[in-house]
Amino acid sequence: MIGTGYLGATHAACLAAAGHDVVAHDVDPTRLEALSAGRAPFHEPGLADLLQEGVGSGRLRFTTDVADVADAEVHFLCVGTPQQRGGRGADLGALRTAAAAVARHARRDCLVVGRSTVPVGTADDLLGVLEAEAQVSVSLAWNPEFLREGRAVQDSLHPDRLVLGVRDDASYAVLAEVYARWLSEGTPVVRTDLRTAELAKVSANVMLAARISVVNVLGEVCERSGADIDDLVRILGADPRIGTDVLQPGLGYGGSCLPKDTRAFVARAGELGVESAALLHHVDLVNMRQRARAVDIVRELWGERRRVAVLGVAFKPGSDDVRDSPALDVATTLQRLGADVRVHDPRAAGSAARVADRLSYADSAEEACADADVVTVLTAWEDYIGLDPVALRGAVASPVVVDARTCLDADKWRAAGWSFHGLGRSACA
């Protein structure tokens, strides 16, 4: 395993649990130290148990020296593919470096499997890198991962489907052996070519991104027209073609995947001459605009003292990840605009404090809300959905709440005397 982030660490632990011998390499020694000690370097339910089991059994080890993977039969490339600095496409530098290092050190014929999310056509480029560096025969396959942060272990152990992008039967046979446990459990498998496999993950992400932005446009129309977003969501969700998942308007998507994958897709589609991909550029614009709209709503309400409680800075509930978090973005923007911001997050306060150390952090939601002029819910954690608006009312300076995730029971909060606002809700509602 090359790269031990959310993707690589989880995959390494799950493959070890399936009985394989796994050596995982990363260039980050701190991360490897935690993993070797059986500690998950990020919040991921079930990962620490799998790490301890794998490390304890001797089937899973971690190394800073890429030469230690020289004898592996299969190499999974799991390094990051972030947005280019100063560009919108994907930065494939780490992937090329990792592929070159594996090929240079490989001492036996092997299969290199791309698992990172990449623009379609990347494998062609990597084949050139592998051929230039390897002294042995190296084949290339693509096997995208669809895990969701916060559910990474469950998603990896029980995926909806396995996508195996291969160029020949021999590569497929190797992957079928790697995933023998999954195949025996009946996990649906799609065997396909490398390009389709590369496109699969990014396509799933642009579909989700588009859905979220469409819902956010509907929410804004509700705001301006006085229509009821909660009823609209119920009506839409009852249509089996639409369904109820990811159907709440709010601050929009964030994290390390959807924003950069949508941009990389538009950039790559542009290179391929697909002008209609501009649709997805607008998906991105709508998404980013939600953050600005949330800030505007809070500024209308914050009064003289501008004391704002921020509940939630993780990019989504169930995660401690604040990479490109809409919630953290809004919190830091409010502070920059002069608000006295007090933040709470049940999991992500530590990771937020590392990148936004000028915000002040509270140990509980109640503490963050004490004497606040506006309470904002920016991440839909269960803890906040379960808050008691009657009790909280006694703690704040003014009972004004902005539900930027459409996750609170508006009627309950209003009945408790709160002035209730949010994305998707008209001001008079």
Q: Which is nearer to ligand NAD, 256 or 379 (CB)?
A: 256
Torsion angle (degrees, nearest 10) of CA 118, 142, 144, 104: -70
**25 binds ligand NAD per the rule CB under 6 A:** yes
Q: How far is the CB of 278 from ligand NAD (least distance, A)?
A: 23
Amino acid identity, position 129: V
Sign of CA dihedral 79, 81, 84, 90: positive
How far does the chain reach from its first CA to its final CA, in angstroms? 52
- How many angstroms separate the CA atoms of 131 and 134, rounded? 6
Q: Which is nearer to ligand NAD, 204 or 362 (CB)?
A: 204
Of the candidate residues 6, 142, 182, 361, the single one contacting ligand NAD (CB under 6 A): 6
Do residues 378 and 330 lie in contact, with contact meaning Cβ atoms separated by under 8 Å? yes
Reduce the DSSP state of residue 317 to 3 states and report it.
Answer: coil
Q: Which is nearer to ligand NAD, 315 or 418 (CB)?
A: 315
192: how many CB neighbours lie within 10 A of its CB?
A: 16
Q: Which helix (H) or strand (E) holds 300?
A: helix 278-301
Task: Tell me, by CB under 6 A, how many residues bind ligand NAD.
Answer: 26
Amino acid identity, position 59: R
Q: How far is the CB of 28 from ligand NAD (least distance, A)?
A: 4
Listed ranges 20-28, 135-143, 275-283, 419-427: which one lies at the site for ligand NAD (CB under 6 A)? 20-28
Q: Which helix (H) or strand (E) holds 114?
A: strand 110-114
Amino acid identity, position 291: R
Give the CB-nearest residue to ligand NAD. Answer: 5
Q: Which is nearer to ligand NAD, 145 or 320 (CB)?
A: 145
Among the options 14, 78, 222, 257, which is catalytic? 257
Q: How far is the CB of 168 from ligand NAD (least distance, A)?
A: 25
Q: Look at the block and give the residue holding tokens 């989880």.
A: 10
Q: Has 407 been annotated as catalytic?
A: no
Of the candidate residues 74, 111, 126, 147, the single one contacting ligand NAD (CB under 6 A): 147
Q: Which is nearer to ligand NAD, 31 or 268 (CB)?
A: 31
What residues between 396 and 425 interact with ligand NAD by CB under 6 A?
none
What residues between 86 and 125 interact with ligand NAD by CB under 6 A?
94, 97-98, 116-117
> One symbol per residue from 59 to 88: x for binding ligand NAD (CB under 6 A), - otherwise; what is it?
-------------------xxxx-------
Do residues 97 and 68 lie in contact, with contact meaning Cβ atoms separated by under 8 Å? no
Q: Would you list the DSSP string of 13-63?
A: HHHHHTT--EEEE-S-HHHHHHHHTT--SS--TTHHHHHHHHHHHTSEEEE
Of the candidate residues 15, 34, 130, 149, the single one contacting ligand NAD (CB under 6 A): 149
User: Closest Cα to residue 104, out of 69, 134, 74, 137?
Assistant: 134
**187 binds ligand NAD per the rule CB under 6 A:** no
Q: How far is the CB of 5 from ligand NAD (least distance, A)?
A: 2
Q: How far is the CB of 80 from ligand NAD (least distance, A)?
A: 4
Q: How far is the CB of 77 from ligand NAD (least distance, A)?
A: 9
Strands (E), 195-316: 307-311
Reduce the DSSP state of residue 396 to 3 states and report it.
Answer: coil
Q: Which is nearer to ligand NAD, 117 or 332 (CB)?
A: 117
Do residues 312 and 401 lie in contact, with contact meaning Cβ atoms separated by under 8 Å? no
Long-range contacts of 274-281 (CB under 8 A, 24+ apart): 279/210, 280/206, 280/209, 280/210
Do residues 32 and 62 lie in contact, with contact meaning Cβ atoms separated by under 8 Å? yes
Listed ranges 1-9, 158-166, 304-312, 404-412: which one lies at the site for ligand NAD (CB under 6 A)? 1-9
Q: How far is the CB of 148 from ligand NAD (least distance, A)?
A: 6
Q: Which is nearer to ligand NAD, 117 or 290 (CB)?
A: 117
Q: Which residues are catalytic?
A: 257
Q: Which residues lie near ligand NAD (CB under 6 A)?
A: 2-8, 25-28, 31, 78-81, 94, 97-98, 116-117, 145, 147, 149, 256-257
